Amino acid sequence: MRSLAIISLTALTLLASAAGAQERSPAERQTLIDLSYVLGESHALRQACAGAEDQFWRQRMQRLVQAEQPDAAFDRRLKESFNTGFVAGQTAFSSCSPQSRQAEAKAAARGRVLAASLTRGAAPARP
Protein backbone atom coordinates (compact mmCIF):
# COMPACT_ATOMS: atom_id res chain seq x y z
CA MET A 1 0.00 0.00 0.00
CA ARG A 2 2.81 2.40 0.87
CA SER A 3 4.53 1.99 -2.49
CA LEU A 4 1.23 2.47 -4.34
CA ALA A 5 0.61 5.70 -2.44
CA ILE A 6 4.12 6.92 -3.18
CA ILE A 7 3.86 6.05 -6.86
CA SER A 8 0.46 7.73 -7.15
CA LEU A 9 1.57 10.91 -5.44
CA THR A 10 4.78 11.01 -7.47
CA ALA A 11 2.94 10.61 -10.77
CA LEU A 12 0.37 13.23 -9.90
CA THR A 13 3.00 15.64 -8.61
CA LEU A 14 4.89 15.31 -11.88
CA LEU A 15 1.67 15.84 -13.83
CA ALA A 16 0.92 18.93 -11.80
CA SER A 17 4.37 20.33 -12.36
CA ALA A 18 4.22 19.52 -16.07
CA ALA A 19 1.87 22.47 -16.42
CA GLY A 20 4.86 24.55 -15.27
CA ALA A 21 5.73 28.17 -15.79
CA GLN A 22 2.22 29.19 -16.73
CA GLU A 23 0.27 31.88 -15.00
CA ARG A 24 -1.57 30.41 -12.07
CA SER A 25 -4.81 31.72 -10.64
CA PRO A 26 -4.88 32.60 -6.94
CA ALA A 27 -6.77 29.35 -6.28
CA GLU A 28 -4.15 27.32 -8.16
CA ARG A 29 -1.37 29.09 -6.28
CA GLN A 30 -3.04 28.17 -3.01
CA THR A 31 -3.33 24.58 -4.21
CA LEU A 32 0.41 24.57 -4.95
CA ILE A 33 1.08 25.95 -1.48
CA ASP A 34 -1.10 23.21 0.01
CA LEU A 35 0.67 20.60 -2.13
CA SER A 36 4.03 21.93 -0.94
CA TYR A 37 2.89 21.40 2.65
CA VAL A 38 1.89 17.81 1.84
CA LEU A 39 5.25 17.19 0.16
CA GLY A 40 7.04 18.50 3.25
CA GLU A 41 4.91 16.39 5.55
CA SER A 42 5.47 13.35 3.32
CA HIS A 43 9.21 14.03 3.39
CA ALA A 44 9.27 13.94 7.19
CA LEU A 45 7.07 10.84 7.39
CA ARG A 46 9.16 8.98 4.83
CA GLN A 47 12.37 9.94 6.62
CA ALA A 48 10.95 8.56 9.88
CA CYS A 49 11.12 5.11 8.30
CA ALA A 50 13.80 5.46 5.62
CA GLY A 51 16.27 7.70 7.47
CA ALA A 52 17.41 11.30 7.22
CA GLU A 53 19.47 10.62 4.10
CA ASP A 54 16.28 9.90 2.12
CA GLN A 55 15.56 12.93 -0.07
CA PHE A 56 12.77 11.53 -2.23
CA TRP A 57 10.10 14.13 -1.45
CA ARG A 58 12.53 17.05 -1.16
CA GLN A 59 13.68 16.26 -4.71
CA ARG A 60 10.05 16.23 -5.89
CA MET A 61 9.55 19.62 -4.27
CA GLN A 62 12.64 20.94 -6.02
CA ARG A 63 11.25 19.69 -9.34
CA LEU A 64 7.91 21.34 -8.67
CA VAL A 65 9.60 24.69 -7.96
CA GLN A 66 11.79 24.32 -11.02
CA ALA A 67 8.80 23.54 -13.24
CA GLU A 68 6.67 26.37 -11.85
CA GLN A 69 9.44 28.98 -12.05
CA PRO A 70 7.76 31.09 -9.37
CA ASP A 71 8.56 34.72 -8.67
CA ALA A 72 10.59 35.34 -5.51
CA ALA A 73 7.61 35.91 -3.22
CA PHE A 74 5.73 32.81 -4.39
CA ASP A 75 8.93 30.74 -4.27
CA ARG A 76 9.33 31.78 -0.62
CA ARG A 77 5.71 30.84 0.16
CA LEU A 78 6.12 27.41 -1.47
CA LYS A 79 9.30 26.67 0.46
CA GLU A 80 7.85 27.94 3.74
CA SER A 81 4.84 25.68 3.24
CA PHE A 82 7.09 22.68 2.53
CA ASN A 83 9.13 23.42 5.65
CA THR A 84 6.01 23.86 7.79
CA GLY A 85 4.69 20.51 6.56
CA PHE A 86 8.05 18.91 7.27
CA VAL A 87 8.10 20.19 10.85
CA ALA A 88 4.50 19.07 11.38
CA GLY A 89 5.26 15.57 10.13
CA GLN A 90 8.47 15.34 12.09
CA THR A 91 6.82 16.59 15.28
CA ALA A 92 3.93 14.17 14.99
CA PHE A 93 6.08 11.11 14.18
CA SER A 94 9.75 11.16 15.08
CA SER A 95 10.13 7.43 14.46
CA CYS A 96 8.73 4.78 12.16
CA SER A 97 5.55 3.09 13.30
CA PRO A 98 2.32 1.75 11.87
CA GLN A 99 0.81 5.13 12.75
CA SER A 100 3.49 7.05 10.84
CA ARG A 101 2.91 4.84 7.80
CA GLN A 102 -0.83 5.46 8.09
CA ALA A 103 -0.18 9.21 8.28
CA GLU A 104 2.03 8.92 5.19
CA ALA A 105 -0.80 7.17 3.31
CA LYS A 106 -3.24 9.92 4.35
CA ALA A 107 -0.82 12.60 3.18
CA ALA A 108 -0.44 10.77 -0.14
CA ALA A 109 -4.22 10.67 -0.59
CA ARG A 110 -4.43 14.40 0.11
CA GLY A 111 -1.56 15.04 -2.30
CA ARG A 112 -3.33 13.05 -5.03
CA VAL A 113 -6.44 15.22 -4.66
CA LEU A 114 -4.40 18.42 -4.80
CA ALA A 115 -2.28 17.33 -7.76
CA ALA A 116 -5.30 16.07 -9.67
CA SER A 117 -7.03 19.41 -9.23
CA LEU A 118 -4.03 21.15 -10.78
CA THR A 119 -4.11 18.87 -13.81
CA ARG A 120 -7.79 19.71 -14.25
CA GLY A 121 -7.15 23.40 -13.69
CA ALA A 122 -9.57 23.66 -10.80
CA ALA A 123 -8.90 24.20 -7.14
CA PRO A 124 -10.18 21.45 -4.85
CA ALA A 125 -12.39 21.96 -1.88
CA ARG A 126 -10.20 22.64 1.14
CA PRO A 127 -9.46 19.33 2.95
Task: Report how far residue 51's alpha carbon sits from residue 60's, in angstroms, rounded to the nearest whole number.
Answer: 17
State the average pLDDT over residues 37-44: 97
Query: Which pTM does this prediction carry?
Result: 0.81
Phi, psi of 74 (to 5 degrees): -70, -35
Predicted local distance difference test score (pLDDT) of residue 75 = 96
Domain ranges of the chain: 2-18+31-120
Alpha helices by DSSP H, listed for 22-71, are 26-50, 56-68
pLDDT tens column, 73-104? 999 999 999 999 999 999 999 999 999 999 99
DSSP three-state, residue 104: helix
Task: Report how far residue 77's alpha carbon sits from residue 80's, in angstroms, rounded to the nearest whole number.
Answer: 5
What is the band of 17 on the pLDDT scale with cuts at 50, 70, 90?
Answer: very low
